[in-house]
Structure 1
Amino acid sequence: MAPAKFNIKTASSFFLVLYATMILLFALPCFSSDPDPLQDFCVADLNSTTTTVNGYPCKPESQGTSKDFIYSGLVEEASTDNPEGVGGRLGNVKSFPGINTLGISVSRIDLALGGIVPLHVHPRASEINYIVKGEVNFGFISTSNVLYSGVVKAGQMSVVPRGLVHYAKNVGGEKAVVLGILNSQLPGSVLIPSNIFASNPTIPNGVLAKNFRVDETVIANIKSNIKTATSFFLVLYSTMILFFALPCFSSDPDPLQDFCVADLSSTSTIVNGYSCKPASTVTSNDFFYSGLMNETSTANLFGFGATQGDVTTFPGLNTQGLSINRLDLAPGGIIPLHSHPRASEANFIVKGEVTFGFITTNNVVYSKLMKAGELNIIPRGLVHFAKNVGQEKAFILAILNSQLPGFSTIPLNLFGSSPAIPNDILAKNFQVNESVIASIKSKFGN
């Protein structure tokens, strides 16, 4: 007798209710995943055996150096010589201790022609995928079993809401390179096939047969095939589970549904963030954004241009706790001193040579020259800066764990505010004459 065919469409509504309930139940731990930082930074002491905490204990601040905040592990291509045609290089807390407590992580994913990232879930993180090279088909499935998918090209990005099953496939004519950006230092990743069919101890065949509505012989056959899967992928995804969980501690509120595409035109309701478009009007296009493809003009005093990829330009990010901006710097151009009050920031150098630096609350500067393929981390709320020190234009991706992180430009904040800060107050702060303050203000329109 031939095995029964897969027949999931006839599942009773009982299971829809059951799984909707289970999603809520198992999502609860995420609400207390990554704690908010209570100090400027906490470089992970990966070798500590004396103290056990949720995450990693901190190295003594006196032992911190600029090198703790720079990571070169994403520069080289990862091998795709495996059945799935996928390779990954991870930038989580285990490989980049400087992101400990900062709620963000970035990985590099390489896909061979036709290569796939199998179905998986990040239980503690939302995810943005930025295409560095190639064409990739991304898709995710909502708890209502609706598939949202589309092809993303170089310079474009997609968002996957926290905890939803998703996948990717290289559909272009060349190898693809993707940056996977998540708002957690250890986000968690569940590879669906091995999770179900290669668990230890194993889920009984009878239970799986009843779930998937097939004969037990079909289940036994699938299990035998799954067990022969390359160890590479099991290692990759067990690590990515930790890596992608980082964003969950972000400052933005936790999502209480699959997605909440922002209704930017709504004036009837005021909420912390944006109200949602009706789910019935949401389409796949809401989860894809092309706004970072083109270079931004740097024809200004700073030699600096920025293209925003936050909720105001990419409404699908609403409630997901992530955003990504494109920064272009002319040779010698600078990003002025500024801070993001609601987000930590990771900067990935796509092109050029850039010196990045930030200042702690103890007035210590951590800075370093970075080259293409390197990644740094800026702790939440600290003043930071950048300068293009190379001979060509620089291109940077600024990745933040908030849908709307805020941008406080220090010079403009102090000398171009409205109403203006009184001159005598600024003079006393900067220990100069009021005439100096007036001169500076004149440069900022006051």
Structure 2
Amino acid sequence: MLDIAFIRQNAELVRAAIKNKRFDLDLDELFSVDKQRREAITVLDEKRARKNQVAAAIPKAPKEERPKLVEEGKEIKAAIEKLEPELAEITRRYEGLMLLVPSVPRPEVPVGQGEEDNVEIRKVGTPRRFDFKPLDHVELMDKLGLVNTEGPRRYAGARSYALIGNGALLELAVTRFVIDLLVQRGLTMVIPPVMVKERAMQGTGFFPIGKEDAYAITADELFLIGTSEVPLVSLHADDTLDEAQLPIRYAGLSPCFRREAGAHGKDTRGLYRVHQFTKVEQVVFCLPDEEIAEKEHYRLLDNAEAILTALEIPYRVALACTGEIGLGQTRKHEVESWMPGRGTYSETHSCSTMGDFQARRSNIRLRLANGSLVYPYTLNNTAIASPRILIPLLENHQNPDGSVTVPKALVPYMGGTTVLTPKA
């Protein structure tokens, strides 16, 4: 959420953000409702002040003047009772529109419509040239007995799966390797709730836009998270942090759930796009300083790249264009792993700077050393998401006989297993 004063003073900048991020919002409507809200507050405050003056004057007034004051008091009370619900409705409209105002992208973010307009920053590693016909992850996992999809799809529906045997152990190995790496790099590990109230989804910017992608537990007014970014940021909702606490760097492990409502019929083969997955997410709170935030951003990005390097997976880093960054993001890098089965680099990580967008929405304040109150900045980055990461891991390390060599970094986490061999 942006400060309304900033929006008023930088209307054209915000209009450009709305257009370039491809959101549908009439800024003039917001300004009109904001004006109505301020005028209604002024009138109501004046009425309340006059009501108090009249109430204080009645006992002191001469007897012949009291009936007039009593009548005025009744009229003011009636006016207030009429104005209060009107202001409540205007405020509801105002707050609803404010939730739709996007953050302004950083100057370096390229203007564009889709992923084809992202700007490649670098490629690391060389896509493998096979001297045999490689299998894709679906064929490999079937041959190795790593997954069962038929049973889960009968009892759990489309895009369901169960990792079996070494498939389950491989996900656990990757997850534990990543956790150890992040803890060594100074992040605090958190296993948060995966069911949250609507306010947490709204505070982190996933609602109201994107609500159709969340699974709702209507009986309890809760929602399943699509990333532990939601509960990690919400850990400090309504808190006032102290400058000495920053930076706060969390790594959250959780199952995640997404309806993929906008992806009907897309990526239906295999495990690239599923409804339930396991994810380790990085979240940072830092001072509201662009230079500090930039350093934290690239620190998070380096963590993701270190993970892919250790897993011996070729990847590329791209700066996402305006059409590809979300409502609250001011900067985003996408990290795409080489997937031989898809014949292209595909996203496995994203690294985002959010400015004070989430802190404002979640009412997270920061008391600086000089005593002043501000909003901290937040950042986030995928450390690993499985089973998607298993796609490049298996495809890039396959052998002619259908076996898969376990990357050296994972061998200790796989009980010393160096090769996954086809089932009998």
What TM-score, normalized to structure 2? 0.25
State the structure with bigger RCO (CA 8 A, min sep 6), 1 or 2: 2
Per residue, is there more strand in 1 or in 2?
A: 1
Largest Rg, 1 or 2: 2
Per residue, is there more helix in 1 or in 2?
A: 2
What TM-score, normalized to structure 1? 0.24
